[in-house]
Amino acid sequence: MASRRQVREAAVQLLYARCSNLKSAEGSEFWALIHHGALVSFDKARVKILAHLQQGRLATAQKLQAIVLDCAASILATDPSEKLAKEIKSLTEDEIQWADTVKNLSNLTKANLGGWQADLIKLLVESNELKKKRATIRLKTENFPPLQQTALDQVFDKLDSYDKRVHMVHFPKNYSEQRELAHLHQMTSEMKELEDEVTKIADLVTEKATELDELIGLKSENFDLSRLSKVDLAILRLASWEILYLTELDPAISINEAIELARAFCGEDSASFVNGILDQVAKSTSDHSQQTTE
């Protein structure tokens, strides 16, 4: 579950994107940026699950290599041009390399070395290509002697079952009932919850943007609001909205968090500026509440 800090950071980024009229606002690229850390963890989990589900695949690929050697005469008899022999040789080499790469990929993620995410995507795509190659070769080996054909079919069936598991890791949302993917489903759900919460907050703040800007401008005294950075404006809008409308939340909490956000996004000068404006917003809100009560 996302922390309050994560929600507010994402809300500021979304509000910034909106007031900057960025085309990427709320699109897949925007959320990929917001979820960067979570997506890295998600892919690490995919690698771990993939390695678990592919246990034994390397041995199966090596078994295919041995069977192919036994079928050398049948392969040549089927296609004297040796084209089929080259196709099968290429397939066996690719199968062994693929299985070996899964093991190496798992080691890379454990060592936290870069480049492994691109390798993961490449592996997931290549799995489907291997399945297509096996299907093509199956058709060309239908007239092999029965024992040889049975041996090839059995190992091809085993490799097909491995690729079905790869497909699960590639597209986990299509396998919601699969227990092995429970952690991936949970992470996906948490990212979606963050998106929903951030969007809801940003919508509420945007709805009151005119009122908030008037208040911020009033408390900025001689500062021209048009000169204010879009990030500072997003932070001020969010915190001012909380002070005005989240009455159950202590304004000091909103102010302190806004100061930290301004410091993280823009630096110390912005933090001081945001602090001064929000202190005035909180004071005016408090004074108004007291007058209403009296």
Could you write out the DSSP letters of every residue in the chain? ---HHHHHHHHHHHHHHHHTT-TTTTSHHHHHHHTHHHHHHHHHHHHHHHHHHTTTHHHHHHHHHHHHHHTHHHHHHH-TTSHHHHHHHHHHHHHHHHHHHHHHHHHHHHHT-TTHHHHHHHHHHHHHHHHHHHHHHHHHTTTS-HHHHHHHHHHHHHHHHHHHHHHHHHSGGG-TT-GGGHHHHHHHHHHHHHHHHHHHHHHHHHHTHHHHHHHHHHHTTTS-GGGS-HHHHHHHHHHHHHHHH-TTS-HHHHHHHHHHHHHHHT-HHHHHHHHHHHHHHHHHHHHHHHHHH-
Q: What is the structure's pLDDT at 272?
A: 93
pLDDT tens, 244-284?
999 899 999 999 999 999 999 999 999 999 999 999 999 98
**Which pLDDT band, with edges at 50, 70 and 90, does 222 fall under?**
low
pLDDT over 80 (residue 146): yes
- Same domain membership, residue 219 and residue 136: no
Single residue among 170, 205, 239 that ends a domain in this structure:
170
- CATH at residue 277: 1.10.940.10
- Same domain membership, residue 155 and residue 57: yes
Q: What is the pTM of this model?
A: 0.85
- Same domain membership, residue 17 and residue 88: no
Answer whether residue 176 is part of any domain. Answer: no
Q: What is the structure's pLDDT at 84?
A: 95
Range of 139's domain?
35-170
